[in-house]
Amino acid sequence: MDHIRILTTGRGIASRTVTNDDLSKVVDTSDDWIYPRTGIHSRQICGEGESVCTLAEEAVGKALEKGKTRFGIREEDIGCVVGATISGATATPSLSCLVQQALHLPEQIPVLDVNAACSGFVYALEVARGLLCANGKRYGLVFGAEALSRLLDWQDRTTCILFADGAGAALIERVPEKEVPYGSFLAARGGTEIVCGGVNTEDPHIRMDGKAVFRFAVTVIPVAAEGALSLAGVPADAISHVICHQANARILGHVMRKSTIPREKFFQNISTAGNTSAASIPSALAQMEEEGLLKEGDLLLLVGFGSGLTYAGMVIGYGRKEAEDEKAE
Ligand code: ACO
């Protein structure tokens, strides 16, 4: 089966900045409590006129624009659109279909959303690979987008301090196996440690057993990472950057201390992004691309974990190595 790689990325940033001090005016909390336990100083949430749809359109639109400029890829070249979200504006149409409509993407391609919470973007990449291998098209658009502020109980200080809004997207390319390593390790352990909505509870808000989630995360992150490396057949030192779901700096700190991969290879933006669930990995990638941290030919290790409970690891290439080699010549 062919592999995929990421060619370009884009992100949509919600415009309203909410600091820990702002939250302390709404619930009984403080920066002194939040920052040491989570690593979060501030987060972005949707402002006037913004929604999960506008954020997703912005992120996907930017990834596509860069694809046009850098690689000459056009709308009609796109072979699938796969979105990851738990906070789509409507149960149906899917968020992906709304993005397809807004960006005038082709009609005769599969377009769908995936619900795997914070592992959603990694799941969506693997789903997109399967779809491209099946329909023979070369390019796909994959995104994660969330407006979690809509699903929060703003009186619940155990959750409203953690979650935020945002979107990130990647333009991917299907390539022959030999061209670039790829490994995708997807897993789930059914459980209700993090829930949101549903007919059984009649509670529309995100609720979470924080301690259980912490234990789950630190256990499964190494499993997902090692699983992906093993499936890709590459050693850990081949990885240029590790992008973990930005859930909580303490979880990441714990994982980094135990990992053989050097700390400086772990990207972190939780302090200003908060936890944006399915959007966290792709928007981190887009931020890295904007900051010039990604080089053509880099090998990335993505790790997601979250509600479901789901977890997922992926080794995936960024850019066309050939493009970097040409630049160097
Ligand atoms: N401000 C002040 N006090 C608070 C707050 C707050 N925001 N939240 C809870 N407290 C209080 C509690 O009421 C409790 O008080 P008590 O001892 O008088 O009862 C005390 O602080 C300790 O509460 P705990 O829930 O035990 O706090 P804990 O040390 O476990 O930290 C946290 C909570 C930060 C959520 C931690 O459990 C954690 O990091 N869990 C991982 C959660 C996570 O990252 N989830 C997202 C990943 S999954 C996904 O992305 C969907």
Alpha helices in 136-240 (DSSP H): 210-232
Q: Is 191 in the pocket of ligand 1 (CB under 6 A)?
A: no
Q: Of all protein residues, whose CA lies closest to atom 32 belonging to ligand 1?
A: 210
Q: What is the pLDDT of residue 201?
A: 72
The average pLDDT across 291-299 equals 97
Distances (CA, A) of 98 to 32, 44, 129, 266, 284: 41, 23, 21, 33, 23
What does the chain come to in residues?
A: 329
Residue 271: what are its φ and ψ, rounded to 5°?
A: -65, -30
Calculate how far, in angstroms, residue 201's C-alpha sits from the geometric centre of ligand 1. Answer: 22
Q: What is the pLDDT of residues 70-118, one digit of tens each?
A: 999 999 999 999 999 999 999 999 999 999 999 999 999 999 999 999 9
Residue 269 designated active-site: no
Calculate how far, in angstroms, residue 251's C-alpha sits from the geometric centre of ligand 1. Answer: 13
Percent of the chain with pLDDT over 70: 97
Whether the Cβ atoms of residue 267 and residue 243 lie closer than 8 Å to each other: yes
Query: What DSSP state is assigned to residue 178?
Result: G
Active-site hit among 118, 160, 196, 244: 118
User: Residue 328 pLDDT > 70, yes or no?
Assistant: no
Residue 245 designated active-site: yes
Q: What is the pLDDT of residue 234?
A: 97
**pLDDT class of 66 with cuts at 50, 70, 90:** very high
Type of residue at 237: D
Q: What is the pLDDT of residues 119-162, one digit of tens each?
A: 999 999 999 999 999 999 999 999 999 999 999 999 999 999 99
Q: Is 306 in the pocket of ligand 1 (CB under 6 A)?
A: yes
Calculate how far, in angstroms, residue 210's C-alpha sits from the geometric centre of ligand 1. Answer: 6
Q: How many CB atoms lie within 10 A of CB 222?
A: 15
Q: Would the CA dihedral through 221, 227, 229, 232 be positive or negative?
A: negative
Q: Find all residues with CB under 8 Å of 268, minimum gap 6, and list them.
A: 39, 246, 249, 252
Predicted TM-score of the model (pTM): 0.96
Q: What is the pLDDT of residues 156-212, one digit of tens each?
A: 999 999 999 999 999 999 999 999 999 999 999 999 988 898 666 788 899 999 999
